[in-house]
């Protein structure tokens, strides 16, 4: 499939109150609610995202869940008849305070984050730029930039890059380069390791 500057959204995907960046791809049966989805990012089929920001160049596998809905556990029952009350009783209305609370539990995903198949990122979590989330992980705490996590609940496996190199990559901010500059540097993206790439471009990024 050839992507274009205009977003590619599968006909079965549902996007509500969502903004989608350039060169993006949203797969079959994905559902987005109140999402800001960054340039070049993609989500494969059957993903769900709500109340979150996704940075640029993120790779999100199938069946990923970003910010699943929490239930109000402090009540005598967590069942949604207490806040979706209008669905159950003719003379009742929904309790909007619960939906406002859910919207306040924002999830933030940085740039160049890879989220593996069937992972879940819980409400209120921030994932730093360059992080990797293992398949099936349940992320309940913030993840530092360029850190690899996995498991239930997700725990640190190792750093993707040393802190000094990670800081240099973040300063380079290739995700903000124009499309033509990405093309100009494509061969080096493909053949150079991270340190060598930064050595070459941190003082003279391509103009495109």
Token readout for 146 is 């360029």
Q: If we measure between CA atoms, which residue out of 43, 1, 45, 37 comes closest to residue 17? A: 37
Residues 6 or more apart whose CB falls under 8 angstroms from that of 54 comprise 35, 36, 37, 38, 41, 60, 66, 109, 113
71 is catalytic: yes
Give the separation between CA 181 and CA 126, rounded to whole angstroms.
29
Its sign, for the CA torsion 96, 98, 104, 110, is: negative
SS3 content of the chain, % helix, strand, coil (to 5): 25, 25, 50
Q: Which of 71, 80, 94, 117 is catalytic?
A: 71
H-only helix segments in 32-110: 96-104
Token readout for 58 is 């993120």
Q: Which residues are catalytic?
A: 71
């Amino acid at each position: 499939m050839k992507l274009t500057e205009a977003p590619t959204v599968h006909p079965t995907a549902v996007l509500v109150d969502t903004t989608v960046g350039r060169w993006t791809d949203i797969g079959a049966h994905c559902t987005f609610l109140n999402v800001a989805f960054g340039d070049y990012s993609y989500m494969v089929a059957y993903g769900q995202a709500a109340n979150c920001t996704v940075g640029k160049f993120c790779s999100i596998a199938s069946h990923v869940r970003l910010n699943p809905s929490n239930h109000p556990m402090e009540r005598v029952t967590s069942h949604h008849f207490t806040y979706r009350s209008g669905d159950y009783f003719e003379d009742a209305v929904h309790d909007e305070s619960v939906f406002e609370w859910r919207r306040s539990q924002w999830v933030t995903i940085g740039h160049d984050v890879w989220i593996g198949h069937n992972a879940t990122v819980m409400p209120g979590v921030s994932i730093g730029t360059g992080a990797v989330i293992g398949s099936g992980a349940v992320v309940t705490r913030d993840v530092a930039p360029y850190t690899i996590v996995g498991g239930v609940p997700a725990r640190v496996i190792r750093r993707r890059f040393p802190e000094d190199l990670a800081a240099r990559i973040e300063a380079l901010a290739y995700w903000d380069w124009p499309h033509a500059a990405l093309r100009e540097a494509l061969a080096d993206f493909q053949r150079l390791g991270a340190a060598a790439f930064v050595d070459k471009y941190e003082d003279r990024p391509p103009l495109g």
